[in-house]
Structure 1
């Protein structure tokens, strides 16, 4: 099979009505299979070693963020599900830290400071088109950062570390070892593993509930965190640091996505603060001045 044959095969799948996500999954299965043939000298080149975006049209619709109510329902579903409950801590962390999935996959035990509740992010784990695992620096200088943890996030990391099984063979990737999640061969898991799990979790949710959940990916978790922080009134520069954005414009773009409901909530919040301030001043004015007795010396 040639690269042209492989491309035509995937194009035909989409023409036959298969969604982009399905075509992507098929390519995700075939590419490593053909890579094994290359590694065994059966083939000279992997026919599926090309970028999918330039071959088929991405017709999938991905929301940049989900609502707080949707996030709560999705987390509760995962927490209570007998199959997917083992992924609850990871999903919770992604929703409440805004980490890129490649940054999360690159985390090692030494990057998690539970005593000081700090996550050290200075690298990310990627898989190349020829299926090699590589350590890369963060996307920008701003991407190198230390994230503070809430107690809930810290508890999730504690659970992950406690449940982590020591691999029989500790794989070292460019000097890094002790990754949080590894496969049966001891290799660290990458973004693709979690993208597939999210896909299965959303499908399972939608099979059960009448009100459907939109497409949720690790990237959607990141944007949901950013959106929630913006709606809470967080300083844009602080949010820029937490997200690892080099350009403040990328962060500010989140604020431009706020709508009428968000504006109404913000005005209500400001009104409540003003009423609280007036009530406090009123109480101070009405409070009688206590008479103090001074003893002559």
Structure 2
């Protein structure tokens, strides 16, 4: 009998040890997710990266570098490389502005008051518009012949229309309109997870509103602010329709996405388009890493939010 029981006990012990390491039959439930990730993320990335090391003969002849000619062309061509700074000059201020403005508004809307739901609905309504409709609205409202300029001219405040679109400002306004609802919703979610009794206790001890914010609310909100900034930055960094419709795609708003589109659709240089796309992802990952690294130095505790 002992001879028969020993293999069973050994098998049970092996299953137990594997289960302690997170290895069990339930891992098969991850198979659909793995297939999904491979089909929609890993394979396209690998295929795109493979294209980057297949430069056109003209690119190799002009920049050299063999299979890395596309990367050399990106960094050596000022017209292309400058688009990194142009895109950052749009994405960083827009993300910072959306996060900074969302904080006081989210604080104000924590309290209960009449009309709160209506105001919240108006704040998140731009999510439903999309970038194309937002750009059209900006052209109608803030264009040279738009409502705003016509009103300012009629009341005598200006003599000539203000140039508010088809430049840097037009794209910045578009990024703020489309990115602010996401920032507001995320920060509101994190704020709702911070126990108000902590601030109330600090208030009873004589702490002013600024002290409560700096010493209690801000540290608890820091992880949420970092996450919100990263998401809004990535959203703004990949800007394409706004840069083309309400920007100046040949100069002030010649962003990376536009350069990738031109390489793909106009120049039919698929390898260069893939190179620009890969480098876009690399820049975004670098910014994300810097933000989360900075957060880890500033605050190591757990977040108080739910988001």
Q: TM-score, normalised by structure 2?
A: 0.20
Name the structure, 1 or 2, with higher relative contact order (CA <8 Å, separation 6+). 2
**Bigger helix fraction:** 2
**Bigger strand fraction:** 1
Structure with max Cα Rg? 2
Q: TM-score, normalised by structure 1?
A: 0.20
